[in-house]
Amino acid sequence: MNRQRGFTLVEVVVAFVLLSIVFVMAFEVFAKGLARTGTMEERSQAMMVAQSALAAAGVEQSPKEGETQGATADRRFQWVTRITKTDEGMKQGGPAPSAYVLYRIDVLVTWQDAQGKPQGLPLSTLMVWTAT
């Protein structure tokens, strides 16, 4: 009997279904990777804004307690800087007053992601300043 070699229609259909499943999964992984890259880019820019705000606090003049706010030139990121004087050593039973003052500087950068959800990145530091 003469038997032809080759693939049957069922085998070809099964192969196409499996191939399409692999392509769909690969596309999904790729798309999520791109979305993650965009998110990380936004967080990186927010970190630069926060670091700039921290660096600017108390540079030109002595730090003053209070709150300042601003936004980047493109209005994409908004920031709030809060400066508070810490008085941990001034409590009863603490050490004598010092010639230095310790300030806590908190910065919160906010923005909206690509889906329109609000995002935020807090950053804090301490600054020692000579008491006057």
pLDDT tens profile 47-84: 999 999 988 887 766 788 889 999 999 999 999 999 99
Percentage of residues of the chain with pLDDT beyond 70:
87
User: Average pLDDT of 32-61?
Assistant: 87
Q: How many CB atoms are located within 10 Å of the residue 123 CB?
A: 18
DSSP-derived letter for residue 90 is G
Tell which wins on pLDDT, 126 or 4: 126
> For residue 17, with 0-12 CB atoms within 10 Å meaning exposed, 13-18 middle and 19 or more buried, which class applies?
exposed
Q: How many CA atoms lie within 13 A of 56 on its CB side?
A: 14
Strand, coil or helix: 91 = coil
Cα 72 to Cα 45, 56, 109: the distances in Å are 10, 14, 10
> For residue 104, with 0-12 CB atoms within 10 Å meaning exposed, 13-18 middle and 19 or more buried, which class applies?
middle
**Is 111 in contact with 42 (CB distance < 8 Å)?**
yes
User: Average pLDDT of 91-120?
Assistant: 84
**Is 104 in contact with 123 (CB distance < 8 Å)?**
no
